[in-house]
Chain A
Amino acid sequence: MITFMNNSDSEEEPCNERTSLMSAESPPVPSYQDGLQASEAGEAQARRKRRTGSNRSPNNIADGEMSDSGVPVRESALENEEEELTLKYGAKHVIMLFVPVTLCMIVVVATIKSVRFYTEKNGQLIYTPFSEDTTSVGQRLLNSVLNTIIMISVIVVMTVFLVLLYKYRCYKFIHGWLILSSLMLLFLFTYIYLGEVLKTYNVAMDYPTLFLVIWNFGAVGMICIHWKGPLQLQQAYLIMISALMALVFIKYLPEWSAWVILGAISIYDLMAVLCPKGPLRMLVETAQERNEPIFPALIYSSAMMWTVGMAKPDTAARGPSQQMWDAAEDGRENHRSPSHADSQMSETRSPVPTRPITSLEELEEEERGVKLGLGDFIFYSVLVGKAAATASGDWNTTLACFVAILIGLCLTLLLLAVFKKALPALPISITFGLVFYFSTDNLVRPFMDTLASHQLYI
């Protein structure tokens, strides 16, 4: 889609995320939570395509209808185009999401395998008070289930709290909360991480240098995430904080609890996003009703171009058709639960909270991109990291989980292209990941080990 859209205009071409069936006037509405978001073709999209006059080479029928006034064309001609563009669009986005997810997992696995700190048991979070040191299997299982229940309830409570805050327009509170969480992640956790890495490699570092490094890292991170910054730097920071958060989880969640929590959270994700009364869905719908952009969310976006605040002389020329632009993150998000409730990072995408839609100069431009919530990154990395940490030093298990998660992500994106609405990104991937982890660890590993000991190849 990007190639098509860019052909017709200059780089100021407002390539936006396709949003499905959102009303033309809706401005960017980034949901507060994270989630997988895809912009789907909708009426506005169709009109926008025609407005921009992109060379729709695949379907010549549409060319005849090309006009800048956005007159709706025969739907059938659109249908075909839509499908093909959906496929191409979807495929490209799959790649765009694979790279950051892979990077995050690589960082987590590399850290787990080299830094001992994150595999040592040094206590547990207060959210998982029951210890797993008991001898009997039943007791251990019971404890892990109880831990999971507590953790999930904390997450549910946080989400509902967030939704309420949003409903009652307590924006400042949420802003403050987000900033506080990202401060903690960017400074405190990075300091701990850096300390452990230096300890592992036995590198001496003095405090002034450390202070300088951490200060710069954290300050630039805050600016990039909450305000403006180069897209790739922003993405890099989001990947890093997801990795840090995942490492914290890997360290402090006891083994069986971690697996049960992963399973439970994918079920929760499924329910929260798809059920009509799910908190995340309500959040998105509220935002859409109000037609206002929500705050910066914990969302990773694959392609964003913020040209906020720039007067765009040529956009004025486009006239009323500009209004059909449902740019930016829209409601199509999978909401990730607020395990980020306690450490939330926000990715500021909307500098102006209430942007009048008719103000053409302030319209933000975005390339087409897909959005994935940071929580999804975190839980994918937790799964792979746990596999790396506990699978008896075996790399096959880690690799199998990695492939399983990527396949799940691919399937989810496929479903996204088909259903064109917000979908939870966790369930399919985590299910595949769990299945592959347990089966590879117990079945494939002995097989491959025995083969390797005889140097047999299959």
Chain B
Amino acid sequence: MGAAVFFGCAGIAFGPALALVLLTVAAEPERVFECFFPLPGSPRAFFWLVSLLLASLIWFVSVRLSDREDARLQYGLLVFGAAVSVLLQEIFRFAYFKLLKKADEGLAMISEDGRSPISLRQMAYVSGLSFGIISGVFSVINILADSIGPGIVGIHGDSPYYFITSAFLTMALVLLHTFWGVIFFDACEKRRYWCLGLVVASHLLTSGLTFLNPRYEASLVPIFIITFITGLWAFVTAGGSFRNILKCLSCK
């Protein structure tokens, strides 16, 4: 326990996200898209927060109206609250997409050659990344804060691997949000609604799989498989291909 667990779990949870940020967003500080959409993440974080707020409101109201003593009912309400939250997140992602489209059009109008200086794909990527980071942070920060202090994990019979599995789940979630952002925006752009549906379904599935915790084999492994598949899908959607990888690796 203590600092080692804290730094380890923080690194696991946010390492990939940090690497992505450093390599893509911060590496090109003069890029126009940095200028135009500053505050990496702030509006998107705001949108995510609002969606969380609404979902919590719904859950809170439903809990108040229900019988507190019934544990099964409470658990059911929790599941319901989680599902509502997932749906709201996707709705707000869509709303953010609409907002970006409008801003993009505005920028294209006033720019010199009628094109917006930022591509929608970049916006999708940054938006997905920001959603992921804020979602991950909210999920795991209290856990990380507790991991510094004294204590014994799972002393009441819960799993002793709580911290590390939480960190891995957070990492998967951050990456998933990034991929979903890319796929989602592309699907909205090209009006492929089945893609949209798939994204929402996979989000619900991921969230649902976490209900199988603490049976980590049943939850972590499938989630990582989903992450990998979604990553491949996002890569293909963003225009990548095997040839691109080869070109990139041979540093042409």
- Whether A456 is near chain B, meaning CB under 8 Å from some CB there, is yes
Q: Say yes or no: B112 contacts A58, CB within 8 Å.
A: yes
- A399 surroundings in chain B (CB, below 8 A): 137-138, 141
- Whether B52 is near chain A, meaning CB under 8 Å from some CB there, is yes
- The contact of A95 among B39, B75, B85, B143, by CB within 8 Å, is B39
- Starting from the known contacts A88-B35, A399-B141, A450-B78, 4 additional A-B residue pairs (CB-CB under 8 Å) come to A407-B42, A452-B142, A455-B214, A457-B173
- Whether A59 is near chain B, meaning CB under 8 Å from some CB there, is yes
Question: How close is B133's CB to chain A, nearest CB, in angstroms?
Answer: 11
Q: Which residues of A come within 8 Å of B, CB atoms?
A: 3, 57-60, 80, 83-84, 87-88, 91-92, 94-95, 98, 393-396, 399-400, 403-404, 406-407, 410, 436, 439-440, 442-444, 446-452, 454-458
Kindly report which residue of chain A lies nearest to residue B134, judged by CB atoms: A403
Interface of A is mostly: helix
Q: A443-B56, A458-B82 are in contact. Are A406 and B36 (CB under 8 A)?
A: no
- The contact of A92 among B35, B46, B49, B170, by CB within 8 Å, is B35
Q: Kindly state the separation between the CA atoms of A458 and B59 in the bound complex, as whole angstroms.
A: 13
Question: How close is B152's CB to chain A, nearest CB, in angstroms?
Answer: 16
- B30 surroundings in chain A (CB, below 8 A): 3
Q: Say yes or no: B82 contacts A88, CB within 8 Å.
A: no
Residues 149-192 of chain B: 1 if any A CB is under 8 Å from the residue's CB, otherwise 0?
Answer: 00000000000001001100110010000000000000000000
- B139 surroundings in chain A (CB, below 8 A): 448, 451-452, 457-458
Kindly report which residue of chain B lies nearest to residue A436, judged by CB atoms: B49
Q: Kindly state the separation between the CA atoms of A202 and B111 in the bound complex, as whole angstroms.
A: 59
A-B contact pairs, 16 of them (CB 8 A): A58-B112, A59-B112, A84-B111, A88-B36, A91-B36, A92-B38, A95-B39, A396-B141, A403-B45, A404-B46, A406-B39, A406-B42, A447-B60, A452-B142, A455-B213, A457-B170
Question: How close is A451's CB to chain B, nearest CB, in angstroms?
Answer: 7
Q: Say yes or no: A457 contacts B207, CB within 8 Å.
A: yes
Kindly report which residue of chain B lies nearest to residue A113, judged by CB atoms: B145
- The contact of A407 among B43, B78, B166, by CB within 8 Å, is B43
Q: Say yes or no: A91 contacts B210, CB within 8 Å.
A: no
Q: Kindly state the separation between the CA atoms of A322 and B59 in the bound complex, as whole angstroms.
A: 63
- Whether B12 is near chain A, meaning CB under 8 Å from some CB there, is no
Question: How close is A151's CB to chain B, nearest CB, in angstroms?
Answer: 30
Q: Which residues of B come within 8 Å of A, CB atoms?
A: 30, 32, 34-39, 42-43, 45-46, 49, 52-53, 55-57, 59-60, 75, 78, 81-82, 85-86, 89, 107, 110-112, 134-135, 137-139, 141-143, 145, 162, 165-166, 169-170, 173, 206-207, 210-211, 213-214
Q: Say yes or no: B166 contacts A443, CB within 8 Å.
A: no
Q: Kindly state the separation between the CA atoms of A197 and B112 in the bound complex, as whole angstroms.
A: 55
Question: How close is A18's CB to chain B, nearest CB, in angstroms?
Answer: 17
- A88 surroundings in chain B (CB, below 8 A): 32, 35-36
Q: Kindly state the separation between the CA atoms of A442 and B34 in the bound complex, as whole angstroms.
A: 35
Question: How close is A91's CB to chain B, nearest CB, in angstroms?
Answer: 5
Q: Say yes or no: A91 contacts B38, CB within 8 Å.
A: yes
Q: Say yes or no: A456 contacts B210, CB within 8 Å.
A: yes
Q: Kindly state the separation between the CA atoms of A95 and B45 in the bound complex, as whole angstroms.
A: 16
- A410 surroundings in chain B (CB, below 8 A): 38-39, 42-43
Q: Kindly state the separation between the CA atoms of A378 and B173 in the bound complex, as whole angstroms.
A: 35
Question: How close is B46's CB to chain A, nearest CB, in angstroms?
Answer: 5
Q: Say yes or no: A454 contacts B213, CB within 8 Å.
A: yes
- The contact of A458 among B37, B75, B134, B207, by CB within 8 Å, is B207
Q: Say yes or no: B214 contacts A400, CB within 8 Å.
A: no
Kindly report which residue of chain B lies nearest to residue A82, judged by CB atoms: B110
Q: Say yes or no: A444 contacts B46, CB within 8 Å.
A: no
Q: Kindly state the separation between the CA atoms of A446 and B30 in the bound complex, as whole angstroms.
A: 42
Q: Say yes or no: B39 contacts A456, CB within 8 Å.
A: no
